[in-house]
Amino acid sequence: MYRAAFGILGLLLAVMLGPVDKAWSQPVVDFYKGKSVTLTVGAAAGGGYDIAARMVSRHIGRHIPGGPAIVVKNMPGANSLPMTNFLYNVAAKDGTELGAPNNGIPFEPLLHVLSKDGSNVKFDPLRFNWIGSPIQEVYVLLAWHTTPYKTFKDLIGNRMLVGSMGANADNSILPSILEQLTGAQFKIIHGYQGQNDLLLAIERGELAGAGGIGYNGLVASRPDWLRDRKINLLVQFGAERHPDMPNVPTAADLVTASDDRAVLDMLFAKYRLSRPLVAPPDVPQERVAALRRAFDDTMKDEKLLQEAQTMGMEISPTSGAEIEAVIRKVHQSDPNQIAKARKLVTPVQ
């Protein structure tokens, strides 16, 4: 009698719930075996986000159960907002699609850097499955050694000509923050196609310097600038002070109000994420857990570490759980601080 009752109950549940997707109930190793995972970079090929994502892609497949192939493609534009919207709303949610967005993307719903009202944001960053970031970045404001800018104090009452890739880039936003909070003065020339073009313009004497240059990228691409003291490092921007720059002031060192420092902590939280990898929402949690473990193991992989050393890239990973905690903390910030932060990220013209 009991067997009959349970049989009828099971039949009713099957009718109510519909057929079970076998792919979603597969063990992780069986699911990924023979498959490809697509990693979409929300930036152009050859830039910092692309380089970091491709480096991880060359090694992480060995650590994912089933050993899937990793295929990298690029979807550049609008600081990776289109790619992020695609990943959230269109991409497969079975664990075969990953993204590498701009590190400011998780905070776009709060700050509206890419639009005035946030209406083009079609995602909830707290529903994404954050996998990890291979590096934590510190950005710098630098000046060429022949210019009059030797320390931060030289920016007060002496407008500095700097370059930027665009009004929404860190090259514009970070000088804007300094102008509003410290009295430093800048004239920004927009339109450089990439960081390399910007650095070449500094070498040619077209610009006095630039704000929003990643220190890791500078070490990798222009080691002679630091070794031969061709530049002066004026300010550093990051979640923490970089050990290579103990005497370079942080932006927080330059402000006196505790509220301003709290706002800067909020704005610079994104540098903990630096080069994040993320999976869409609704991916089965056992696959998310496997991808996070694979990322963590990849960060200890000797082959990856050797490649990073050759590239001049400093591996300083942030786990998926840590990224999620940073994003959640920022989204729980005081509304008045969020409003002030939103004003600060409006670039100088």
Helix (H) or strand (E) holding 277: strand 277-279
User: 294 pLDDT band (50/70/90 cuts)?
Assistant: very high
CA angle 79, 104, 210 (to 5 degrees): 75
Is residue 168 predicted with pLDDT exceeding 90? no
Strand bridging mode 129-133 / 139-144: unpaired
Q: In 3D, which of 291, 301, 346, 283 has the Cα closest to residue 323?
A: 291
CA distance 12 to 221: 64
- Please compute the mean of the pLDDT values over residues 193-205 and round it to a whole number: 89
The overall average pLDDT reported for the chain is 90
pLDDT tens profile 315-343: 999 999 999 999 999 999 999 999 999 99
Higher per-residue confidence, 231 vs 165: 231
Confidence of residue 79 (pLDDT cuts 50, 70, 90): confident
Between 167 and 284, residue with greater pLDDT: 284
Strand partners of residue 232: 143
pLDDT at 206 over 60: yes
Instruction: Give the pTM.
Output: 0.84
Q: Which CATH number fits domain 25-136+274-335: 3.40.50.10190, 3.50.50.60, 3.40.50.10610, 3.40.190.150?
A: 3.40.190.150
CA distance 247 to 241: 10
pLDDT band at 25 (very low <50, low <70, confident <90, very high): low
Distance between CA atoms of 242 and 271, rounded to whole angstroms? Answer: 12
pLDDT for the residue 313: 86
Give SS3 for 291: helix
CA dist 127 and 191 (Å) reads 34
With a CB cutoff of 8 Å and minimum separation 6, the contacts of 14 are: none
Spatial contact of 142 and 231, defined as CB atoms under 8 Å apart: yes
Return the percent helix, strand and coil in the chain, to nearest 5: 45, 15, 40
| Beta strand spans in 95-199 (E) | 97-100, 129-133, 139-144, 160-163, 186-189
123-152 pLDDT, tens digit per residue, is 999 999 999 999 998 999 999 999 999 999
**Would you place residue 196 in the very low, low, confident or very high pLDDT band (cuts 50, 70, 90)?**
confident
pLDDT of residue 260: 93
pLDDT digits (tens, 9 = 90+) for 104-125: 999 999 999 887 788 899 999 9
Architecture of domain 139-267: 3-Layer(aba) Sandwich (3.40)
User: Domain-by-domain residue ranges, the chain?
Assistant: 25-136+274-335, 139-267
Q: What is the CA radius of gyration of the chain?
A: 23
Q: Write down how long the chain is.
A: 349
- Do the domains 25-136+274-335 and 139-267 sit in the same CATH topology, yes or no? yes
Give the dihedral sign, CA 147/148/153/155.
negative
Name the strands in the sheet holding 209-214, side by side, starting at the edge strand that comes first in the sequence.
Answer: 186-189, 160-163, 209-214, 139-144, 231-237
